[in-house]
């Protein structure tokens, strides 16, 4: 058996890929997020400019903030975190005045 070693120099961040993803976010990388609360909303707002291929698993059983109040008041899972993330990922190219 012959061993083959390949070496490749890469620049991080790869500016060519970044520019490509900015112009064609539908071909951006696949990213999976596990989070609760509003922890990644700001990051999600930025990343949607580079990829449309992100999946977000968000728990509605977060124990802090408004989630706990909603669960207590309505005896149901709080959906505020889900709503917040959906708003972060929404298309904001057309804003209403």
Q: Which residue has the higher pLDDT, 92 or 46?
A: 46
Instruction: List, for residues 35-53, the tens digit of each pLDDT value.
Output: 776 778 888 889 989 999 9
Rounded to 10 degrees, the C-alpha dihedral 28/34/38/43 comes to -30
Domain boundaries, the chain: 25-89
CA pair distance 28, 49, nearest whole angstrom: 9
Alpha helix stretches (DSSP H) within the chain: 15-23, 41-47, 65-74, 80-89
pLDDT in tens, 13-34: 888 999 999 999 999 999 998 8
- pTM to 2 decimal places: 0.60
């Amino acid at each position: 058996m012959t061993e083959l070693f390949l070496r490749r120099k890469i620049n991080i961040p790869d500016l060519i890929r970044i520019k490509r993803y900015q112009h064609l976010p539908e071909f951006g990388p696949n990213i999976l997020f596990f989070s609760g609360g509003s922890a990644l909303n700001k990051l999600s707002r930025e990343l949607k400019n580079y990829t449309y291929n992100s999946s977000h698993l968000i728990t509605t059983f977060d124990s802090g903030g408004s989630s706990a109040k909603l669960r207590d008041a309505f005896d149901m899972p709080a959906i505020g975190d889900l709503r917040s993330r959906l708003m972060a990922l929404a298309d904001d190219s057309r804003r209403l005045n």
